[in-house]
Structure 1
Amino acid sequence: MGVRGLHWFVTSACQGVGSVVNLEDVAKSYRSRYPGSVPVLVVDAMSCLRQWYTPEFWVCGGQWREYLSSLDSFINTFTTAGIKLVFYFDGLVEQKKRDEWVKRRLKNNKEIARIFQFLKTNKQQPGKNMFFIPSGLATFTRFALKSLGQVTVQSLQEADYEVASYGLHNNCMGILGEDTDYLIFDTCPYFSINHLCLAKLETIMFCRQNLCSRLGLHLTDLPLFACLLGTDTVPERAMERFRNQCLASYCSKRQVSDKRVNVILAVANYISGLPRSYDSVLALAEMLPLGLDKSILLRGIRSYLLPGQQSPWLPPDPSPHSEAALREDMPLCLDQEIFQIAKEQHVRGESHMVYNVLRTGEVDCSNTLEDEHDREIPGQALIYYPARQHIYSILLESAKDTNPAVKEWFVYPGNSLQQPELVQPKQLSGGTTSLRSLWFGGGPEIEQRRHGTFLACLNLEEMAEEFQGLEAPVRALCSLLIYLALQVESLSLEDLNAFIAQALCLEGKSAAQLAGLQLAQIDPRAVHLASVFIRGLGLLLMANSTCGFPFRMDDLMPWRIFDGKLYQEKYQQCHRGYPLQELLEFNVSMCTCL
């Protein structure tokens, strides 16, 4: 993420680029400069997740009520200071960054393997040095922030570009995140989430003007500078030979110190001596390795130009950001009104994965805390594969004559991610219901059809009558557990009872009560099952979005029906044969539910 080596440079080796500021004071200064305006921080939510997840236990599947409470505190601190927050989430992975995405996912697989090895050896949660965000955290954070009344935006391209553009064109007070790309974009000030002290509202502000002064560059040089160091668009290896030549020349004239510092200074020194012209970039492109697209430097520079901006390193372009923006052409064989609504719901963060299927026919799912050595529990991507086939058949029913396949980049044990898996839609047993009727129809009959189609995605349409009397969150829980029981042969009655018991006992428990719950040990299989369950809730979000929202999205949220630490406790109790009364904490009214 960001520019290779730049974060270390500006935080450890370059004084003056970063300075400690109080955000409340920055907001006061903003209001004095722009009377009547509200200071807005645009938040790169994806880079904040690790800082936001503060509950002690992270390995058990998520302490969701505690997390919701901590997000609420975070928002209230800024609200009290008179600062409005706008949260941006990544909406897709652009093709030019897919290789980098795959590389990170494979690296994460190794980290997850070490976590499970630690769990099996120690029966305890690893230390913070092995911290891995709970599965599904990004998805459910988006809905959590919406439930707390916040403005959330899901991007139509890489979120950092849209964050920078929003910050510039809405005269925002600044950007809150952790990505050195925000030092390269010519946009509003950039504040660090990693250095944020919430109690004092103090953090580090990085100043791109000071960076330019230290490097002897102009602001318009920064995109080229970033590309020569290496970004997600221009691989680090692409200009390695160039950097080595710069370093050799630079160090021959100066006393050698830290190589990392010298590489950055040498590249900046080289750029400062070049004519600021398109020809200079073409000459640099000749140093790219054989087989690499010569236009990659041009695309990399353009990716940092926001709407209305130009670069002296590029030929004049009436729309210089066009390379960075996602094309908005509507795919063939799709209903225009359906597509437009899907897009609007996507941007507002109201649906899950539907727009990606309709727009590009390509979806992805990041790493899950799964034990690759547990052969009795299939990868979550495989468990929910049949349901996704049904969902795709509903979404793509108007394009069935073209036999579309959805490209899936789903991370699971055994998948090398060398290429996407092609998933053929599979028609529901009772036939596919028209997407128009599900999305636009009204009345009790259509509402019943929405619920029936939702269950049919899980092959549970025959259970519709049995579910009628249940409250919505319980109905969703039962749907998911029955689906899991049918798909995972090794799932035991004790496993299922643990999910039900924790959901029943969760009702009425506050975040503080859940935080006080203590676990003597951690069971690695329960960790695995908890992550599979959370991914299942993500699948329900996708099915609900597809079927015209038979459920309120809030009814499918984990803080309504799941707590990872509580599940660990109930899992261990169930497998030790605890009596029903003790399992349900001696609540007599619950005993009839199991």
Structure 2
Amino acid sequence: MGVRGLQGFVGSFCPHICTVVNLREMAECHRKQHSSSPPTIVVDAMCCLRYWYTPESWVCGGQWREYMGALRTFVQAFEEAGIRLVFFFDGMVERDKRGEWVKRRHKNSRDVARIFHHLKSHGEQPGRHMFFIPTGLAVFTRLALKALGQETHCSLQEADYEVAERGLWEGCLGILGEDTDYLIYNTCPYLSIRELCLDTLDTVQLSREKLCESLQLAVADLPLLACLLGNDIVPESLFESFRYRCLSTHSAASKDLRRRGGTVLAVADHIAQVLRVHQGEKALEELLPLGPHTALFYKGVASYLLPGQISPWLSHAPKTVVAPDKQTTSMLTDLQPQRGAPLVSDPEALQVARAHHVQGECYLVYNIMCSGEIECSNTLEDELDQALPSQAFVYRPVRQRVYALLLGAGEGGSWDLATDGRGAKEVKEWFVYAGNPLKDPDLVRPLPVSIPGGVPSLKTLWLTQEPGVRALRYEVLLACFNLSSMQEDLRAVEGPFRALCCLLVYLFLQVDTLCLEDLHALIAQALCLQGKSMAHLVDLQLERIDPRAVQLASLLLRGLTTLVFVNSACGFPLNVNDFMPWNIFDGKLFHQKYLQSERGYAVEALLEQNRAWLACFQSLKAAVVKACLKESRRIGSRQPWGMPHTGPRARQQTSSGCSPQGQPWREQGPGSRQYAHEQRRKYSRPLGRPSDPQ
């Protein structure tokens, strides 16, 4: 993230630009000078996730109640100081930054592989140096902050730009984050989340003015410096030879060519001593080896300009240049990142989706309607043991039906989405799974949604308040999971657990390798969680960590984020709090129940002898088993046939890659089960990209 090498340079060469400040004192000073506006800090939430996630356990799926407590403590500390917080989350990936996004995903995949190697070798969680944020952390953090009454937004472009813009617009105390791009933007002060002491509200402020003094540059030169060093738009490799030439001719830096800080000094000196001499006489492309990357470079410089700001380095930019893809680009009208034209014809529905997106109330809906493109980052999935299929495939049929709902099926079921030239409507999916090089997106076609009477319009689902529409929204949600037939059975399930029940039915229909012990563990942990204090969950100790349980926990959490997606697309028929992880999932508790269940603990033992939970357990289990039997899916046991579940005993030694019937998942396709009205198909080649993009 940010400018390559700048963080290290500041620490080694310019520590004086870092000043310890007290946010409580800054707020008091602001109140004296601006009595009409509260002191405000804009928070780059994506930079803060690692700071906020303080629970010791992370590999089992996340300690969500403990995490919710940490967020509450964070918010309360600022409320007590009278400081208003405004949180921003990334709402999309800009096209210019897709390459950097892919690069990070590949790095994360290597990190995930190391985590699973450690789990298999040691049976315990790796140290914090291998920390990987729990699945869905960004989505659930946004919803948690909204539940805590905080102002929360999703960006319409890269979040750092909107953070910097909001900070400048409101005259905020500062931007709280951990991204050197905030030293480049000409906005309010940059405050470090990494250095924040919550008890005292002391942190470090990094001064861009002092940085400029050290580099003998003006603030307006910083975007040029950032692009020559490399950032998320301009690849670091683009100016590698140029930087080396600067370094070799710069006397102060050439004493140690290997020091990254020397490169920053050398490039800054070149800007000050060479480029500025010719400023106004020659265009920048005559002074730098831009070649075919001119458009990309100018876009990178312009990406740091907030509304109303200009750059002396863009005043002589050509009106048109040849872009890297050989297409002519208008530089003065297309310097800022652009999104594709909307894919739907109903502007009112699109406007509603946009409003929900900006307010952080929905997930993926606006991205699909606006550009037909979505992405999903890494999940804790074991690429070497695909006994459980990737979440990218498990939840794809659900996404495909939502695509139809959002893009194609209006009143009467008519299609109005532009086609790919072959008559097919496709959404671009950038999902991480084993064997996917992410060179191109998967092109995924919508699947029809089956609703008696036809699929309602988005305006009906989102805007109509007539009686019966809430029931219709719920019906559409079940149809997106292809579970319309179990609507009556769900009535027997206690309200807060209906969403979980839907998800479990879908999972067990899709994944043939899930067994009765898995079902018992998933239900038991959700019920037992209701009676656990945070202190009890913190103190819970596990005898070992099972890699399959780690992956199953991640699969469930991706299911919960999928529920967020479907629920928002259908007009929010479900109470979102019912399926937030801090209410129905705890990583360590699930892992404990998983280990107990595979050793043969009786249901009463799994439920800790609590008879009050037994009836709810039986109704949940019955609903799942009955729904699966309707689709000829029998949930088998890993336990030896005929042996009672009377208590703990050794697990039957079977391959983790086998179903209860002994057939490996790979030989059954991707562990997915399509339903009666759909053609049965396999996604094929679990270790590679699917040959069929559906």
Task: Give the TM-score, by structure 2 length.
Answer: 0.82
- Aligned pair 1:362/2:373, yes or no? yes
Percent identity reads 52
Equivalent AA in structure 2 for residue 527 of structure 1: V
The aligned runs of 1:575-590 (5 Å cut-off) are: 575-590=598-613
Q: Which moved more, 1:392-401 or 1:234-243?
A: 392-401
Q: Which has the higher contact order (CA 8 A, sep 6+)?
A: 1
- Aligned pair 1:18/2:18, yes or no? yes
Partner of 1:395: 406
The aligned runs of 1:465-480 (5 Å cut-off) are: 465-480=488-503
Cα distance, 1:368 vs structure 2 = 0.3
Q: Secondary structure at the match of 2:209?
A: helix
Partner of 2:508: 485
Equivalent AA in structure 1 for residue 286 of structure 2: A
- State the alpha-carbon separation in 2 of the partners of residues 531 and 146 from structure 1: 23
- Aligned pair 1:331/2:347, yes or no? no
Cα distance, 1:429 vs structure 2 = 3.3
| Structure of larger gyration radius | 2
Partner of 1:121: 121
Deviations 1:159-180 (A, max 9, x none): 0000000000111010000000
Cα distance, 1:433 vs structure 2 = 3.2
- State the alpha-carbon separation in 2 of the partners of residues 67 and 412 from structure 1: 27
The aligned runs of 1:511-550 (5 Å cut-off) are: 511-550=534-573
- State the alpha-carbon separation in 2 of the partners of residues 457 and 264 from structure 1: 53
Cα distance, 1:508 vs structure 2 = 3.0
Q: Which moved more, 1:105-114 or 1:7-16?
A: 7-16
The aligned runs of 1:22-421 (5 Å cut-off) are: 22-251=22-251, 255-256=255-256, 259-273=259-273, 274-275=275-276, 276-277=279-280, 279-285=282-288, 287-288=289-290, 292-315=292-315, 323=334, 325=336, 327=338, 331-397=342-408, 398=410, 399-400=415-416, 402-403=418-419, 404-421=425-442
Equivalent AA in structure 2 for residue 65 of structure 1: R
Contact 2:253 2:263 (C-alpha < 8 Å) held by counterparts? no
- State the alpha-carbon separation in 1 of the partners of residues 80 and 42 from structure 2: 17
Cα distance, 1:278 vs structure 2 = 8.0
Q: Which moved more, 1:393-402 or 1:297-306?
A: 393-402
Q: Secondary structure at the match of 1:105?
A: helix
Cα distance, 1:258 vs structure 2 = 5.5
- State the alpha-carbon separation in 2 of the partners of residues 457 and 245 from structure 1: 58
Kindly tell me: are residues 331 and 257 of structure 1, through their superposed partners in 2, closer, same or farther at Cα, counting changes over 3 Å? closer
Cα distance, 1:580 vs structure 2 = 1.8
Contact 2:339 2:371 (C-alpha < 8 Å) held by counterparts? no
Contact 2:92 2:157 (C-alpha < 8 Å) held by counterparts? yes
Q: Which moved more, 1:251-260 or 1:18-27?
A: 251-260
Equivalent AA in structure 2 for residue 405 of structure 1: E
Contact 1:278 1:315 (C-alpha < 8 Å) held by counterparts? no
Equivalent AA in structure 1 for residue 597 of structure 2: C
Deviations 1:391-449 (A, max 9, x none): 10100125445342100001111211110000000102345332222222334432222
Cα distance, 1:339 vs structure 2 = 0.2
- State the alpha-carbon separation in 1 of the partners of residues 581 and 492 from structure 2: 21
Deviations 1:241-296 (A, max 9, x none): 110110111038964476212111110101002234483522244x13x6x42222
Cα distance, 1:214 vs structure 2 = 0.4
Kindly tell me: are residues 50 and 298 of structure 1, through their superposed partners in 2, closer, same or farther at Cα, counting changes over 3 Å? same
Deviations 1:489-527 (A, max 9, x none): 100111111010000001132222211211121111100
Cα distance, 1:587 vs structure 2 = 0.4
Contact 1:581 1:587 (C-alpha < 8 Å) held by counterparts? yes
Equivalent AA in structure 2 for residue 531 of structure 1: S
Equivalent AA in structure 2 for residue 279 of structure 1: K
Deviations 1:112-155 (A, max 9, x none): 00000101111111000100000100010000000000000100
Partner of 1:591: 614
- State the alpha-carbon separation in 1 of the partners of residues 549 and 15 from structure 2: 47
Cα distance, 1:316 vs structure 2 = 7.4
- State the alpha-carbon separation in 2 of the partners of residues 362 and 556 from structure 1: 26
Cα distance, 1:36 vs structure 2 = 3.5
Q: Secondary structure at the match of 2:507?
A: helix
Equivalent AA in structure 1 for residue 285 of structure 2: L
- State the alpha-carbon separation in 2 of the partners of residues 7 and 400 from structure 1: 49
- State the alpha-carbon separation in 2 of the partners of residues 401 and 148 from structure 1: 38
- State the alpha-carbon separation in 1 of the partners of residues 258 and 31 from structure 2: 43
Q: Which has the higher helix share?
A: 1
Equivalent AA in structure 2 for residue 479 of structure 1: C
Q: Secondary structure at the match of 1:279?
A: coil
Contact 2:343 2:372 (C-alpha < 8 Å) held by counterparts? no
Kindly tell me: are residues 324 and 464 of structure 1, through their superposed partners in 2, closer, same or farther at Cα, counting changes over 3 Å? farther
The aligned runs of 1:431-470 (5 Å cut-off) are: 432-470=455-493
- State the alpha-carbon separation in 2 of the partners of residues 529 and 284 from structure 1: 55
- State the alpha-carbon separation in 2 of the partners of residues 278 and 341 from structure 1: 49
Kindly tell me: are residues 244 and 560 of structure 1, through their superposed partners in 2, closer, same or farther at Cα, counting changes over 3 Å? same
Q: Secondary structure at the match of 2:15?
A: coil
Q: Which moved more, 1:184-193 or 1:199-208?
A: 199-208
Partner of 1:507: 530
- State the alpha-carbon separation in 1 of the partners of residues 362 and 287 from structure 2: 44
Kindly tell me: are residues 59 and 278 of structure 1, through their superposed partners in 2, closer, same or farther at Cα, counting changes over 3 Å? farther
Q: Which moved more, 1:8-17 or 1:405-414?
A: 8-17
Kindly tell me: are residues 183 and 498 of structure 1, through their superposed partners in 2, closer, same or farther at Cα, counting changes over 3 Å? same
Equivalent AA in structure 1 for residue 418 of structure 2: T
Kindly tell me: are residues 157 and 141 of structure 1, through their superposed partners in 2, closer, same or farther at Cα, counting changes over 3 Å? same
* Count of matched residue pairs: 591
Equivalent AA in structure 1 for residue 153 of structure 2: V
- State the alpha-carbon separation in 2 of the partners of residues 349 and 477 from structure 1: 23
Contact 1:228 1:267 (C-alpha < 8 Å) held by counterparts? yes
- State the alpha-carbon separation in 2 of the partners of residues 277 and 570 from structure 1: 70
Kindly tell me: are residues 277 and 222 of structure 1, through their superposed partners in 2, closer, same or farther at Cα, counting changes over 3 Å? farther
**Root-mean-square deviation (CA), in Å?**
2.0
Partner of 2:578: 555
Kindly tell me: are residues 407 and 584 of structure 1, through their superposed partners in 2, closer, same or farther at Cα, counting changes over 3 Å? same
Deviations 1:187-217 (A, max 9, x none): 0000001111112211111000000000010
- State the alpha-carbon separation in 2 of the partners of residues 253 and 38 from structure 1: 45
Cα distance, 1:27 vs structure 2 = 1.6
Q: Secondary structure at the match of 1:251?
A: coil
Kindly tell me: are residues 485 and 278 of structure 1, through their superposed partners in 2, closer, same or farther at Cα, counting changes over 3 Å? farther
Equivalent AA in structure 1 for residue 500 of structure 2: L
Q: Secondary structure at the match of 2:118?
A: helix
Gaps of 5+ in 1: none
- State the alpha-carbon separation in 2 of the partners of residues 445 and 6 from structure 1: 58
Contact 1:278 1:312 (C-alpha < 8 Å) held by counterparts? no
Contact 1:62 1:564 (C-alpha < 8 Å) held by counterparts? yes
Partner of 1:567: 590
Contact 1:309 1:320 (C-alpha < 8 Å) held by counterparts? no
Q: Secondary structure at the match of 2:134?
A: coil
Equivalent AA in structure 2 for residue 419 of structure 1: D
Cα distance, 1:326 vs structure 2 = 5.2
- State the alpha-carbon separation in 2 of the partners of residues 222 and 457 from structure 1: 49
Cα distance, 1:230 vs structure 2 = 0.4
